[in-house]
Amino acid sequence: MCGIAGVVYKDGKLHNVGADMTRMLHALQHRGPDSAGFSIYGGLGLEENEYLLNIEVKEKKGLLERVKETVETVSPIRKDEVIPSVENYIIYRCRITLESFSQLKPLIMEIDRIEDVIVLNGSHSFEMIKDVGSVLEIADRYDTWSKKGTHAIGHTRFSTESIVDRYHAHPFQSYIIPDITVVHNGQITNYWKIREPLERKGHIFETNNDTECIVHYVADKLASGYSLEEALEQSVKDMDGPFSYIVGTPTGVGIAKDQLGLRPGVMAENDEVFAVASEEVSLREVMDTTEVEQISPGEVRVYEI
């Protein structure tokens, strides 16, 4: 199953998009009880070359201090906080400054080498929140209700492959280009055919989840000069299986649906909002849905601010 949703405020200004996405995902909770996640764009307000790291750290004596020491070999920590979580883990969030985006992935890999530690994400223009549990549990844990932004994507997960934990929850991110994320409903049945050429080009895969394959694919196309719409159109031709997925970028969202139309996707918009989701019930949380369009088999829709 799984449920996916995306919303964009057309004026490009900050709105209560965290609360909007929380309600949209809660309306899709029946599609996925295992975990949920958000990519909320535009509200972090970071300075140039400043990044936010979200790091899962086991509650073990001295471990958090070791993480901080590793981060500070690259950048002084400008601001940090600890969020209590579940299963004897905490989420450590810190802001750092890097000379260039190219330093981000090597730092993340260095932190990941520490036992019982894993970096959930690193970003500049969006905040990623994802965890195990229901949408409302996660919303209360991370206060998604108060998060402001210009647009967002989100996911409720029903696991059909890979384990259920924070790291395998959606959204997935690629570090080929800054701040691209994906949420996905379905399966990519020619997964290895898509993945192997990307690995030969130097893409580093950290899971066997096919959603990670999608985000690497789209990021690779964007890095090669494709527009977002062109990248999604090509993905529909190259990828097999039942799928619909939503991409988030710093400038907007896009949705793509498999050529047989085997996974749902609907869209609605008005003068203020563009929204997409697995089901109409989710769209009703952000607008009047008197005019809802079904995303057709093989169709791509993109809205950029």
**Residues near 196 by beta carbon (within 8 Å), at least 6 away in sequence:** none
pLDDT of res. 160: 75
pLDDT of res. 164: 87
Domains, the chain, in order of start with CATH, read 3-42+134-304 (3.60.20.10), 45-124 (3.30.70.260)
14-64 tens-digit pLDDT: 999 999 999 999 999 999 999 999 999 999 999 999 999 999 999 999 999
**Order of strands, edge to edge, in the sheet holding 50-58?**
79-84, 89-97, 50-58, 117-123
pLDDT of res. 130: 95
Task: Please state, in angstroms and as integers, the Cα–Cα distance from residue 35 to each residue in 135, 163, 172, 224, 248, following that order.
Answer: 7, 11, 13, 33, 19
Amino acid at 265: G
pLDDT of res. 84: 85
Residues pairing with 182 in the sheet: 172, 247
Distance CA 244, CA 259 (A): 10
pLDDT of res. 296: 97
Stretches in the chain below the pLDDT threshold 70? 86, 161-162
The residue from 1, 2, 226, 285 that is catalytic is: 2
96-116 tens-digit pLDDT: 999 999 999 999 999 999 999
Distance CA 105, CA 270 (A): 38
Distance CA 53, CA 120 (A): 8
Q: Is the dihedral of CA 10, 14, 15, 19 positive or negative?
A: positive
In the residue annotation, 2 being an active-site residue is answered as yes
